[in-house]
C-alpha cells in the first residue's frame, strides 16, 4: 500500500540550525493541450513559507503524443538538496515521448520562478515525429475517456500500440491520464521504470480488464473552532487501497454555543458502498450534532468532500430561556468553563465525556452545555454507537472538576543522529482527561546505532489499573548499539510533563567510545520501512557480529515497525532480551544475526534526514505516514 503524506496541520518540523525560512512560489496544474500551443505560460502562483530545512522546487513534465501534449507543473517546498536545472528524457520516441525539468534552489525567496515551457524549447524534437511507418494505433491523451479514439499512422520505428492509464500523484496533482499511442517496445513501461520526479509520483496500469485498485483521499483531523470558522475547506493526502477496498469519508460536527468540534477521517475500507448520508443526531436547542458518511468505489478519489458547506446550516437565532448551564467543548479540561444562559426550550444541563475511537481518531471530548429532552439521560447521540469507522461512547459520571485527572497527550517520532549525546525537545501539543482507573504516562525509547539515531515517544493516559512508577531500562549498550527507555506512570494533574530527552540521557552511563575494530556492519534505523542499505561501516572494538532485525511497537497512540541494523558485542541474543513491554508500548522483536565472516566492507553513508513530527490524538500508522489535513479558513 502506497501513500503520500501531507502533514501540514499536524506539523513536520526539522530540528536544524536557526536560519530564515524561505518563501517559495506554490502552485500545481495538469492539462492536455495542443503541441501547436507550445510554449505554454502560467501566472498567478501563490506563496508558501517553508520549514527551515526546505528549499523551493520547480517541476515540469511534458508527455508528447502526436498533436497532443500533457503538461504537469508543480511549485512548492521540498526537503531535497539544492539541484541545478536538470532535464531528463524518460522516453524519446518514436511515438510517445516524455521529458521532465526539475530544479531545487535556496538562494532567495521565490527562487522557483520558472513560468513557461520555453525553458524546454531548445530541446531536440522527439525522435521520429514526422516520418510515417506502417503501424496504425489508436491515439488518445485524455483525463476522461479514450473510448472510440481515432487511429493514426505511427512514426517509423514504432512496433507496438500502447494502451494504459498513467497515474500522476503529487502536490495538488491527482490525475488518471488515459494514454493510447505508438511505442517501440511491447511492455507497460512508458516511463522506463521511473516512479517519481521530485514530488510527483507516477505509476502505470495497462491491464484495464477486471477490478482495479483504487486511490483514495486519506487522512484524519480533529479540531475545535469558533462557529464563525465553520465554512472550512481541507486538502488531504492519498492512499492506494488493497484489491476490493473502497474509499470512505466520515465527518462529525458538534455545535455547542459559539464553538464547534469537527472530526474528519478518510481512507480505504472493506465496508460495502454507502450513498452519501447526512444524519442529524441532535438538532437543539442547545447542543446540535450532525454526521456525514460515504463509502464508494466508482472512481479514484470518489471520497472527495472538501468543505463543511453542504453539511451545516447555522441554526436560526432563538430567544434565551431561563436555564443556565456551564458551556465547554474541549479535548482537555473544563475546569474554567463559564456558565451561560441557554436557548429557550432547553430543559437540562449536559455534562459528559464523548469517546471517539477509530479511523485514526483517538479522542475524549469533554462536553458541557444545554439540551432539550424529557429525561436528563446520558444520550447525547440518541443511541448512535458508530459513525463510519468511528466508535462512539458516552460517560456522564466523570470525576468532579477538582479531582479529574488530565494528562499531556501526543506521539513523537524522530530520526537523526547524535541523540545519545544531545537532548531532543519532547513536549506535547495537547492534553486529555483520563477515564476512571487511568493515570498519566510518558514513554521514551532511544535507539542509537552509531551514525543513526531514533526517538519514539508517547504521552497520554495509561491503560486501566496502572500504578505510579518511574524507571530507565538499558537493553543494549556499547560496544555496538545503544537501546534504552525512560518510562513514567503518575497520578497527579499533568504530571507527564518532561520537556526533553534529558530525563533519559542524564541517567545513562557515559562510557568512553572504543577505538575502531575489525568488524564492519551496515548501520540503519528506519521507522516506517525496511533497511535496504548494504553499505557498511567499521564497528567499535569489541563488537563481533552484525544485528539485523525489526521491533514492532504498539500502544500509546503509536503503531509502527522499527527496522534496525548495527553492531553487537557477545553474547548473541535478541536486542530487547526477554522484554515484551516498554512503558506503554508492547514490543515484539524478530531478528537474525550475521557473524564476522559474513560481512563485507563498503563506504559509509551520509545521514542527512532528520524528521520530527507530533501527531495529536492519532494512531501513528506510519507505514503510510497518515496523511494530515489542513483546514483553510
Q: Which pLDDT score is estimated for 612?
A: 31
Q: Are residues 179 and 242 in the same domain?
A: no
The x, y and z cell numbers of residue 370, run together, are 444545554
Check whether the bond before 484 is cis (ω within 30° of 0): no
Q: Are residues 255 and 389 in the same domain?
A: yes
Q: Are residues 172 and 275 in the same domain?
A: no
Low-confidence ranges of the chain (pLDDT < 70): 1-19, 121-130, 209-211, 315, 374-376, 397-403, 533-534, 592-633
Is 631 part of a structural domain of the chain? no
- Following DSSP, what letter does each residue of 190-234 receive, concatenated? TTTT--EETTEEEEEE---SS--PPEEEEEEEEEEEEGGG-S-EE
Count of structural domains within the chain: 3
* Look-up of cell digits 483553510: 632
Residue 72: Cβ-neighbour burial (10 angstroms; 0-12, 13-18, 19+): buried
Q: Who's near 335: CB < 8 A, 6+ residues apart?
A: 401
| Rounded distance between C-alpha atoms, residue 403 and residue 417, angstroms | 42
Count of Cβ atoms closer than 10 Å to residue 399 Cβ: 12
Residue 163 near residue 182, CB atoms below 8 Å: no
By residue range, what is the domain housing residue 419?
A: 407-621
Is 633 part of a structural domain of the chain? no
Is 402 part of a structural domain of the chain? no
Q: Which pLDDT score is estimated for 607?
A: 26
**What's phi and psi for 598, nearest 5 deg?**
-100, -10
- Following DSSP, what letter does each residue of 111-162 receive, concatenated? -----BGGGGTTSPPPTTSSSEEEEEEE-EEESS--TTPPEEEEETT--EEE
Is 278 part of a structural domain of the chain? yes
Q: Which pLDDT score is estimated for 449?
A: 87
| Rounded distance between C-alpha atoms, residue 349 and residue 346, angstroms | 8
Q: Who's near 330: CB < 8 A, 6+ residues apart?
A: 224, 365, 366
Residue ending a domain, among 205, 224, 255, is 205
The x, y and z cell numbers of residue 46, run together, are 501563490
Question: Which residues make beta-bridge pairs with 387?
Answer: 390
Q: Are residues 184 and 258 in the same domain?
A: no
Q: Are residues 189 and 278 in the same domain?
A: no
Q: Which pLDDT score is estimated for 144?
A: 87
Fill in the DSSP letter of residue 596.
Answer: G
Q: Are residues 381 and 266 in the same domain?
A: yes
Is 348 part of a structural domain of the chain? yes
Fill in the DSSP letter of residue 544.
Answer: -
Q: Are residues 197 and 242 in the same domain?
A: no
Q: Which residues of 495-526 are buried (b: 16+ CB within 10 A; e: fewer)?
A: bbbbeebebbbeeeeeeeeeeebebbbbbbbb
CA distances in angstroms from 355 to 98, 278, 349, 366, 380, listed in the order given: 51, 21, 19, 9, 12
Convert the pLDDT of each residue in 193-245 to its tens digit: 888 898 898 888 887 766 678 889 988 888 888 888 878 888 888 888 888 89
Q: Which pLDDT score is estimated for 633?
A: 27
Q: Who's near 199: CB < 8 A, 6+ residues apart?
A: 57, 59, 74, 76, 78, 170, 171
Is 539 part of a structural domain of the chain? yes
Is 483 part of a structural domain of the chain? yes
Residue ending a domain, among 340, 363, 395, is 395
Convert the pLDDT of each residue in 138-179 to its tens digit: 999 999 889 889 999 999 999 999 999 999 998 888 889 999
Q: Are residues 371 and 500 in the same domain?
A: no
Q: Are residues 377 and 440 in the same domain?
A: no
Taking phi over 0 as left and psi of -120 to 50 as alpha, with beta for the rest, 380 belongs to alpha
- Following DSSP, what letter does each residue of 292-360 receive, concatenated? EEEEE-SSTT-----BSTTT--PPPP--EEEEEEEEEEESS--TTPEEEEEETT--EEEEEEEEEEETT
Q: Are residues 465 and 547 in the same domain?
A: yes
Count of Cβ atoms closer than 10 Å to residue 396 Cβ: 15
Q: Are residues 381 and 246 in the same domain?
A: yes
Question: Which residues make beta-bridge pairs with 265?
Answer: 220, 250
Q: Are residues 94 and 182 in the same domain?
A: yes
Is 626 part of a structural domain of the chain? no
SS3 at position 25: strand
Amino acid at each position: 500500500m502506497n501513500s503520500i503524506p501531507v502533514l501540514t496541520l499536524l506539523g513536520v518540523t526539522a530540528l536544524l540550525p536557526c536560519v530564515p525560512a524561505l518563501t517559495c512560489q506554490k502552485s500545481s496544474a495538469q492539462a492536455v493541450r495542443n503541441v501547436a500551443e507550445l510554449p505554454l505560460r502560467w501566472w498567478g502562483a501563490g506563496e508558501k513559507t517553508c520549514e527551515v530545512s526546505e528549499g523551493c522546487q520547480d517541476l515540469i513534465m511534458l508527455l508528447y503524443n502526436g498533436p497532443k501534449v500533457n503538461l504537469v507543473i508543480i511549485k512548492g517546498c521540498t526537503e531535497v538538496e539544492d539541484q541545478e536545472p536538470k532535464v531528463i528524457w524518460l522516453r524519446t520516441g518514436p511515438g510517445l515521448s516524455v521529458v521532465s525539468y526539475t530544479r531545487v534552489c535556496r538562494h532567495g525567496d521565490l527562487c522557483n520562478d520558472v513560468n513557461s515551457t520555453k525553458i524546454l524549447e531548445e530541446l531536440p524534437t522527439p525522435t521520429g515525429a514526422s516520418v510515417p511507418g506502417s503501424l496504425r494505433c489508436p491515439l488518445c491523451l485524455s483525463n476522461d475517456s479514450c473510448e472510440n479514439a481515432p487511429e493514426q499512422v505511427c512514426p517509423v520505428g514504432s512496433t507496438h500500440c500502447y494502451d494504459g492509464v498513467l497515474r500522476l500523484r503529487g502536490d495538488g496533482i491527482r490525475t488518471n491520464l488515459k494514454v493510447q499511442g505508438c511505442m517501440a517496445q511491447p511492455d507497460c513501461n512508458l516511463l522506463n521504470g521511473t516512479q517519481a520526479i521530485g514530488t510527483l509520483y507516477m505509476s502505470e496500469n495497462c491491464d484495464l480488464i477486471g477490478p482495479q485498485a483504487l486511490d483514495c483521499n486519506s487522512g484524519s483531523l480533529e479540531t475545535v473552532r469558533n462557529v464563525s470558522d465553520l465554512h472550512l475547506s481541507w486538502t488531504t493526502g492519498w492512499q492506494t487501497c488493497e484489491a476490493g477496498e473502497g474509499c470512505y469519508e466520515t465527518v462529525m460536527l458538534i455545535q455547542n454555543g459559539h464553538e464547534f468540534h469537527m472530526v474528519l477521517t478518510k481512507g480505504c475500507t472493506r465496508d460495502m458502498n454507502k450513498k452519501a448520508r447526512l444524519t442529524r443526531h441532535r438538532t437543539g436547542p442547545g447542543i446540535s450534532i450532525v454526521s456525514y458518511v460515504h463509502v464508494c468505489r466508482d472512481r479514484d478519489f470518489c471520497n472527495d468532500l472538501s468543505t463543511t458547506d453542504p453539511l451545516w446550516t447555522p441554526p436560526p437565532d432563538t430567544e434565551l430561556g431561563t436555564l443556565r448551564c456551564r458551556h465547554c467543548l474541549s479535548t482537555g479540561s473544563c475546569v474554567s468553563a463559564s456558565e451561560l444562559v441557554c436557548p429557550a426550550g432547553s430543559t437540562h444541563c449536559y455534562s459528559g465525556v464523548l469517546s471517539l475511537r477509530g479511523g485514526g481518531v483517538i479522542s475524549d471530548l469533554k462536553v458541557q452545555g444545554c439540551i432539550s429532552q424529557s429525561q436528563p439521560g446520558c444520550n447525547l447521540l440518541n443511541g448512535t454507537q458508530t459513525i463510519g469507522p468511528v466508535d462512539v461512547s458516552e460517560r456522564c459520571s466523570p470525576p468532579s472538576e477538582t479531582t479529574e485527572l488530565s494528562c499531556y497527550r501526543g506521539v513523537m517520532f524522530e530520526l537523526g543522529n547524535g541523540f545519545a549525546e544531545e537532548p531532543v525537545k519532547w513536549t506535547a501539543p495537547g492534553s486529555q482527561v483520563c477515564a476512571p482507573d487511568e493515570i498519566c504516562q510518558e514513554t521514551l525509547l532511544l535507539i542509537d546505532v552509531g551514525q543513526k539515531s531514533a526517538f519514539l515517544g508517547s504521552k497520554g493516559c495509561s491503560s486501566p489499573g496502572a500504578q505510579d512508577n518511574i524507571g530507565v531500562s538499558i537493553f543494549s549498550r556499547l560496544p555496538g548499539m545503544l537501546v534504552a527507555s525512560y518510562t513514567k506512570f503518575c497520578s497527579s494533574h499533568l504530571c507527564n510533563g518532561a520537556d526533553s530527552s534529558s530525563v533519559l540521557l542524564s541517567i545513562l552511563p557515559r562510557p568512553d567510545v572504543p577505538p575502531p575494530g575489525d568488524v564492519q556492519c551496515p548501520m540503519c534505523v528506519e521507522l516506517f520501512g525496511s533497511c535496504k542499505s548494504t553499505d557498511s561501516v567499521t564497528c567499535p572494538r569489541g563488537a563481533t557480529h552484525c544485528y539485523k532485525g525489526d521491533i514492532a511497537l504498539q500502544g500509546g497512540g503509536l503503531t509502527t515497525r522499527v527496522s534496525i541494523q548495527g553492531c553487537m558485542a557477545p553474547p548473541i541474543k535478541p536486542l530487547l532480551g526477554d522484554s515484551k513491554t516498554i512503558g506503554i508500548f508492547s514490543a515484539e522483536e524478530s531478528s537474525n544475526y550475521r557473524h564476522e565472516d559474513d560481512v563485507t566492507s563498503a563506504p559509509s553513508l551520509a545521514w542527512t534526514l532528520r524528521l520530527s513530527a507530533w501527531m495529536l490524538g492519532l494512531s501513528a500508522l506510519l507505514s503510510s505516514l497518515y496523511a494530515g489535513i489542513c483546514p483553510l479558513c
